[in-house]
Amino acid sequence: MPELPEVEALAADLRDRAAGREIDRADVAEFSVLKTYDPPLSALSGGVLRGAARRGKFLDLVVTPAGAGPALHLVTHLARAGWLRWRESLPPTPPRPGKGPLAFRLRFTDGAGFDLTEAGTRKRLAVYLVTDVAQIPGVAALGPEPLDPAFTPGVLAAILAGRRTQVKGVLRDQKLIAGIGNAYSDEVLHAARMSPFRLASSLTADDVAHLHGVIVSTLREAIERSDGLTASDLKQEKKAGLRVHGRAGQPCPVCGDAVREVSFADSALQYCATCQTGGKPLADRRLSRLLK
């Protein structure tokens, strides 16, 4: 799933490639992807893309419409299996619905543009066209941005205080902290040498200050690694830069112990027992249920 660093890099790439270009047309190839109907997608035709920004895991493209009226925001959430693919040349005719992984296409008048694709059968990629991003429920509900100067150790302490939930879940909850998902929560907790199962309410003031610093440094380092990369190179860079996430069975780059995994119904987390849990393996609850 694209998370804060990758969406930040996608926004930067689109600012470089597409700012100032006039939009020819926008088309859906998977009907379920479009979550709004007013304004219609046809309102984008003749408009000029003015900028691209990130809000949590949402990509926000700002368009000045051809006629009078407020700026338009073409917003997408790539979900777990979505991606943006830039094309230097796209056909002028709309794509055929329901053919392959293509979900949405934006074409500029010079023929260039991008496709939004989604692998797999669980279609969760979402596209919105609004005049105010706060109209999108997922954006309106976002917690603070972890790279915003206003996100201080005190703010993190207030988020964690009294929560008898695992710190891993807090980091992933977009209503509490925006932009961190399964991969970077694993990376943050490994760098902080903290168990993903530790209760949020158990963290001391020193623990919170340390965790805050690791959140910021981990995300900034990931953004720096992605700086200047095109959309086609971002996936490989993310995979190469991860220390524990997606590396079950491989040696921990810090201590050499094997990276372990805990599986859930539709996801998994990875961690190093030596670095994070005092050498004690965490219970794999899915396996435990099978053994009963």
Tokens of 180: 């961190």
Residue 291: its pLDDT value, please?
29
CB environment 193-206: b (16+ within 10 A), e (fewer): ebbbbbebeebeee
Q: Tell me, yes or no, whether 136 and 11 share the same domain.
A: yes
Same domain, 133 and 211: no
Residue ranges for the chain with pLDDT beneath 70: 99, 285-292
Buried/exposed code over 10-21 (b: 16+ C-beta within 10 A; e: otherwise):
bbbbbbebbeeb
Q: What are phi and psi of 190, to 5 degrees?
A: -65, -45
The predicted structure's pLDDT at residue 1: 79
> Quick one: CA torsion of 139, 201, 186, 122, rounded to 10 degrees?
-50
pLDDT 10s digits, 78-122: 998 899 999 999 999 999 887 689 999 999 999 999 999 998 778
**pLDDT of res. 121:** 76
- 119 with 176, same domain: the answer is no
Q: Are residues 213 and 96 in the same domain?
A: no
pLDDT digits (tens, 9 = 90+) for 147-164: 999 999 999 999 999 999
pLDDT at 226: 87
On whether both 36 and 120 belong to a single domain, the answer is yes
Q: Residue 221 burial (CB < 10 Å; 0-12/13-18/19+)? A: middle
Rounded to whole angstroms, the Cα distance separating 183 from 1 reads 8
Contact 152, 212 (CB under 8 A): yes
Residue 79's domain comprises: 4-140
Sheet order of strands, 72-77 included: 48-55, 58-64, 72-77, 126-130
User: Which two structure tokens, joined as six digits, stand for 60?
Assistant: 């926000």
Q: Is 9 in the same domain as 54?
A: yes
Q: What is the pTM of this model?
A: 0.92
Q: Are 130 and 174 members of one domain?
A: no
CATH number of the domain bearing residue 126: 3.20.190.10
